[in-house]
Chain A
Amino acid sequence: MLLQQTSARKNISVRRKLAAFLLCTVPLSFSVHAQSTSTSPSASPIYKEFVDEAGRTVRVPQSVQRIISLAPSLTETIYALGLQDRLVADTDFCDFPPDAQKKPKVGGGLNPSLEQIVALKPDIVLLAKSFNRIETLQALETLGIPAYGTEPHTVQEIISSTERLANVLGAPEAGSALAADLQRHLADLQQRLSGFPSRRVLFVVWSDPLISVGKDTFIADALKRAGASSIVDSSQDWPQMNLEEVVRLQPDFLVFSGSHSEAGQNDFDVLAERPGWRGLDAVRNRRFAVISDAVNRPAPRIVSAIEDLARQLHPEAFAPHSEDEKEKKTPPRAEPQLSSTAFESRAADPGQMEACPCAP
């Protein structure tokens, strides 16, 4: 990482455009000449250079005090790192934690207001490739605003991406602590699930038309870590599935995600009423799982969603008798034993969020 001094602001290009504008429209304007006596920053801050996940070199102030997040996952990550006081604005879709809804908004992820972003004088703007447009990244770059893009494809990359981001934002300790905690939870889960065959599942993103997740998405990877394997073998991110094909593959479970469990329950009931869906064993036997929509966001909270799904798909791995030596590390959540009804929807109790390992 290079330490570099900044030069003065790029006022020249502003002036050139302005001059062009006035020459075009005000013929009487005489002697438009560029002067370099404008308001320049009193002290040049020190910059660091990072390479972001889009492969671009980004120059970021040494001390990042004003962050704008353009994706819900990045907003969550900032809160998980305990940097929420430096978050000056986020998007209309940033709803977790609830406090994030109170932050000033710069619009949606696809069409944020560049003006609003400039006016808030951010030290850095964070973007996620899955949620934002590459054009926004380029536009910010043109305006001389440091813009850092992230693009994790697996659960492991979500963790390493979080750690790198913490480094960029000047909070490496928080990043490594969070990463270590998440890794511990995943390792623990892997150990519990070892020996249990993975469940073949259909992750239902949308039911009409039926949309699932492709094999190269972080959601498919999250399913794997929860002891499940998606029956969908598509390299598209959001493939539209043919119901006949699903019936032929007969998934063990349907998996829904929702902000609350009733949503998933309703989704299931609606599907079960449809003629074709009764051809699925999983539908006839009401074998489905509902997990938090955190699974849809490449943010640290995905680990708790993975644990939640694993508990629903493999209750025997979490049965009290096999838990004795793990007792101290990860106390089981306050919930009744998972009986056979655990296959049906479990209320995503609010307490779960507090138990989330990533919450600060």
Chain B
Amino acid sequence: MRPLTLSRLLMHCAILGAILFAVVVIALKMGAVPVSLYGLVRDLFHVALGQASQLSSEHQLIVFNIRLPRIFLSIFVGASLSVAGASFQALLRNPLADPYVLGVSSGASVGAILALIIEPRLALAPAIAALFTPVGAFLGAAITVAAVYFLGRREGQIDSATLLLAGIISASFLSAIIQFFMSTLTGGNYHGFAFWMMGDLSTPQQPIVNWIVRVGFFVGAGIIYTTAADLNLLLAGEKEAMHLGVDIRRVRIVVYIAASLLTGLAVSVSGAIGYIGLLVPHVMRILFGSDHRILLPTVAFGGAIALVIADTLARTVVSPSELPVGAVTAVVGAPLFLYLLRRRLA
């Protein structure tokens, strides 16, 4: 492991940040309605210098009120999912671990569908009704985390293999419940939920929801980062880490809860977007090594870049219609994962 210096960390982040910025500008340009890259970049500078935007009012609305909030959502959802994935992989010392395998996303889906069914029966103000599904999803994720956490213990200790099995079985049980509830949904609700299940970033969120996701990301990722050194030692094995003075119990609880918070928030606004949490940490580990003090920030940038690109493809490939972004990440992610798997074996 190369020694970590602040300048090395900052340089990695600066490079990835620059790539993310370039991807965002290109994503802002791409879409069903053509906007010239030159005009867009010039306009960004104009506005940055305090001058009036030169774009027509429709283009302003499209670029800044439709594309930009969606790109921001992709950035934070992608970063949250991949940081959660990296932490689960380190914590369980299992390369297959990701939020979906542990049942967290299925729990969030059950919460969301229950919210969809209950919501019309309560006469809520529209602003509260809009929050209802994300809150339901987050509660579902939180309850599942707690349940899987307790089911995954053996003799009072968390056992990685038991936890993974408990997660997988919970996920399939919750999927059955989702199927049951889906058969009771009608009309627009069914369509809306089916979309959400496939992973969907096309629905603009309330500003308050966006802020919860952003703040939640920094809180969750920040908490996980405080344990980065411990996660490094955990790679050597649990006993070894314990002998080196790591409070394994505390690290497990802190990371598990923080990573589940990240997953719950991400799933609540975007539905089931697979492979980001699984694949991005693997790619970043190949590029930057396994030091979690560098890995966690680079994984956040990598997840953001990956999901912005995937969502840009989702909204442009069959334009003016859209693909569910979950389909794009799966189609690209599954072969890539297999490639990485074979490469490692070779």
Contacts and interface: CB of A to CB of B under 8 A. Distances in A.
A134 B130 CA distance: 10
Contacts of A31: 49-50
Contacts of A116: 32-33, 319-320
B68 interface: yes
Interface string B165-206: 000000000000000000110111101100100000011100
Contacts of B162: none
B21 interface: yes
A99 interface: no
B78 interface: no
B218 interface: no
Contact of B66 (A18, A19, A143): A143
Contacts of A18: 47, 53, 64, 68
A25 B24 contact: yes
A142 B57 contact: no
Interface in B283-309: none
Interface in A104-135: 105-108, 110-116, 118-119, 121, 129-135
A26 interface: yes
A286 B295 CA distance: 70
A133 B320 contact: no
Contacts of A242: none
Interface string B46-66: 011111110011101110111
A121 B61 CA distance: 11
A35 B66 contact: no
Contacts of B5: none
Given A14-B65, A18-B64, A9 B57 contact: yes
B346 to A, nearest CB: 40
Interface string A27-52: 00111110101110000000000000
Interface in B109-140: 126, 130
B143 interface: no
Given A107-B321, A130-B187, A142-B204, A39 B130 contact: no
Contacts of B48: 22, 26, 29, 32
A139 B61 contact: no
B235 to A, nearest CB: 33
A5 interface: no
Contacts of A13: 65
A88 to B, nearest CB: 13
A17 B65 contact: yes
Contacts of B159: none
Nearest to A149: B188
B60 A14 contact: yes
B320 A139 contact: no
A286 to B, nearest CB: 33
Most buried by B among A18, A35, A106, A139: A18
Contacts of B50: 31-33, 35
A57 to B, nearest CB: 11
A11 interface: yes
B71 to A, nearest CB: 9
A142 B209 CA distance: 14
A135 B192 contact: yes
Contacts of B189: 134
Contacts of B195: 110-111, 133
A31 B46 CA distance: 12
Interface in A231-280: 236-238, 240
Interface string A71-100: 000000000000000000000100000000
A134 B129 CA distance: 12
A114 B24 contact: no
A237 B204 contact: no
B158 interface: no
A116 B126 CA distance: 26
A119 B62 contact: yes
Contact of A32 (B47, B64, B67): B47
Contacts of A139: 203-204
A38 to B, nearest CB: 5
A133 B191 contact: yes
Contacts of B21: 25
A21 to B, nearest CB: 6
Contacts of B67: 115
26 contacts: A9-B57, A11-B57, A11-B60, A14-B60, A14-B61, A14-B64, A18-B47, A21-B68, A21-B72, A22-B44, A22-B47, A30-B49, A32-B48, A35-B50, A38-B57, A38-B60, A107-B321, A113-B321, A114-B202, A115-B320, A119-B58, A131-B188, A133-B192, A133-B203, A143-B66, A240-B183
Interface of A: 9, 11, 13-15, 17-19, 21-22, 25-26, 29-33, 35, 37-39, 92, 105-108, 110-116, 118-119, 121, 129-135, 138-139, 142-144, 236-238, 240
Interface of B: 21, 24, 31-33, 44, 47-53, 56-58, 60-62, 64-69, 72, 126, 130, 183-184, 186-189, 191-192, 195, 202-204, 315, 319-322
Given A110-B191, A139-B204, 6 more contacts: A17-B68, A39-B57, A110-B195, A112-B320, A114-B202, A135-B203
* Interchain residue pairs A-B with the least CB separation, the first 4: A113-B320, A107-B321, A29-B48, A113-B32
